[in-house]
Structure 1
Amino acid sequence: MSLKITKPLVTVDWLYKHINDTNLVVLDCTIPKVTDVATTDNAKKCIKGALFFDLKKTFSDQNATLPNTVLTAEVFERKAQELGINNNSVIICYDDLGIYSAPRVWWMFQLMGFKNIAVLDGGLPEWNANNYPTVANYSIKSDKGNFTVDFKPNKLKNTAAVYKAMSNDTSVIIDARSEERFLGTAPEPRPELSSGHIPNSINIPFKFVLESRKMKSFDDLFKIFTKFENENEIIFTCGSGITASILALAAAVLEIKNTAVYDGSWTEWASNGNLPIVKEV
């Protein structure tokens, strides 16, 4: 029987138990934080059997003017097939920072209509903390997969949709950036951008849903999101679509369905020049 998962998070114990299942695909989705100084780790390790999911160069639109722009459905399908992903695959995403970039990959597959996917809670740090084995090299899939896209456009928002949602009483825009960037009292990591926030948006910094690099408990997440249970639509935004996906994952843990990510996020909004920006005076 093929492996199936029904929750958006799995533990390292679960992954270790199923590491040799035939339809399991483990993806290392690590990218550096935009606020970090780049470093080279010559001792890079990965989970046994993991494939490298190149979020920056392969699975983002290289012709786009904005960072991390999601691929078209057609191109995503082809790239996923080239990675060896099949329609009956069960995908586990992880990253080296605990929970950071892996939720972006989870969300991308949700956008493409693929549900048999989860994020490894705590990522590689939690795997290492349990002394589970690592290897020095990624696996390489030799066979092309048969992955097919069932695109879900309601999961993706552009600037026009977010602008409309600003004045919609049944929509809420939630910004995952730090409070200082949201208020405009600290600069953006991209120096060409003004800090501040989208009018009528609210701030839930992505770190609020995490504890010791893992997702907070169901009860703690419920306390954060319960006030939005009557909203028809929740749009998550951040700097460039990465940490917004962490909030989307947290909402999915609570089985909140009506969520979307603003793909261009603050980078697109602030670089427009004609859109309103709120800053703390």
Structure 2
Amino acid sequence: MKLKVKSPLVVTSWLNHHLYAENLVVLNGTIKKVGGNIESNIEEKQIPNAIFFDIKKNFSDTSSEFPSTIPSAQQFQEEARKIGINQDSCIVVYDNLGIYSAARVWWLFKTFGFDNVAVLDGGFPAWQIDGFPVENEVSHSRVIGDFKSDYQANNIRFTNDVLDSIAHKKNYILDARSAGRFNATQPEPRIDLKGGHIPTSLSLPYTQLLVEGKMKTEEELEDIFRSKLKKEKPLVFTCGSGITACILALGANIVGITNVSVYDGSWTEWASTPNLPIEKK
């Protein structure tokens, strides 16, 4: 019987129990945290049989002037096949910071029409704390997969969509950056990038959804989102470059909020584009 996930989040004990399931693919989606001093350990230890998912190169449009831009459906399909992803795969993705870039990997698969994917709660730190097996980092070879992209356009928003949302107040825009960056009281980690936020957007730092690298309980997440949302409207998530916005998307999905999208260029694109409105405080 092929393995399937029942939730967008799985715990370490579940993954350890199913680690050698026939159709399981474990992906390491670690990237360096923007503005942080934590270096990733992807060349040191990993979960056994893990495959590195290179967000910044293979799974981004590197021709774009903005970081982490979503790739084409064709590029995503080709790169996913190269790392052995099949139509019947069950994917669990983790990163070395708890829950950080793993949520972006989860969101990319959802955006390209693949639902049998989950994030490891607490990531590699939780895996190690719980004493489950690790191996030295190694590139495992895999048979080319048969994954097929099915682009879900409603999952992604672009600058014109956000401008339309501002004009017609049709969505809630939630910003995953810190309150200091949102209010321009802290500098952006990217040099020369203006501070502030998209007009009408609300601040919801992604860190508010986490405790020690793990997602808060479903009840806590429900309270967090409901405290921000006064009406039933679709949600658009934004952040610095489209990475931590996906943590908000993951949290929303956990509590059953599915009418959501991510502004792919996020603040980097917005603040770099001339003549777009910016608010501070």
TM-score bracket for this pair, using the shorter chain length:
over 0.9
Q: 205-214 or 163-172: which moved more?
A: 163-172
- Gapped regions of structure 2 (runs ≥ 5): none
**2:32 maps to what in 1?**
32
Q: CA deviation at 1:141?
A: 3.1
CA distance in 2, matches of 1:40, 1:165: 37
Deviations 1:169-225 (A, max 9, x none): 331000000000000111100122111000000000000000111000011001011
What SS does structure 2 have at the residue aligned with 1:127?
helix
Q: CA deviation at 1:43?
A: 6.8
- CA 1:139–1:17 in 2, change beyond 3 Å: closer, same or farther? farther
Q: Tell me, yes or no, if structure 1 residue 65 matches structure 2 residue 65.
A: yes
CA contact (8 A) 1:170 1:231 kept: no
Q: CA deviation at 1:140?
A: 1.9
Q: Tell me, yes or no, if structure 1 residue 202 matches structure 2 residue 206.
A: no
**1:222 maps to what in 2?**
222
Q: CA deviation at 1:55?
A: 0.8
Give matches, 1:2-81, under 5 Å. 2-37=2-37, 39=39, 41=41, 44-81=44-81
CA contact (8 A) 2:30 2:40 kept: no
Deviations 1:2-28 (A, max 9, x none): 001121000000000000101000000
Deviations 1:110-167 (A, max 9, x none): 1001000000000000000100010002342331100001110000000000111113
- Gapped regions of structure 1 (runs ≥ 5): none
Q: 142-151 or 98-107: which moved more?
A: 142-151
Q: Tell me, yes or no, if structure 1 residue 238 matches structure 2 residue 219.
A: no
CA contact (8 A) 1:234 1:258 kept: yes
**1:111 maps to what in 2?**
111
CA contact (8 A) 1:29 1:102 kept: yes
What SS does structure 2 have at the residue aligned with 1:167?
helix
CA distance in 2, matches of 1:97, 1:59: 20
Letter in 2 for 1:243: T
CA distance in 1, matches of 2:278, 2:42: 42
Letter in 1 for 2:70: V
Task: Please report the TM-score for the alignment, with normalisation by the length of structure 1.
Answer: 0.96
**2:142 maps to what in 1?**
142
What SS does structure 1 have at the residue aligned with 2:154?
helix
Considering only aligned residues, what root-mean-square deviation do their CA atoms show, in Å? 1.4
| Identical counterparts, % of pairs | 46
CA distance in 2, matches of 1:73, 1:108: 10
Q: CA deviation at 1:38?
A: 6.8
Q: CA deviation at 1:37?
A: 3.8
Moved over 3 A (4+): 37-43
Q: Tell me, yes or no, if structure 1 residue 266 matches structure 2 residue 242.
A: no
Letter in 2 for 1:277: I
Letter in 2 for 1:103: A
CA distance in 1, matches of 2:141, 2:109: 19
CA distance in 2, matches of 1:223, 1:40: 32
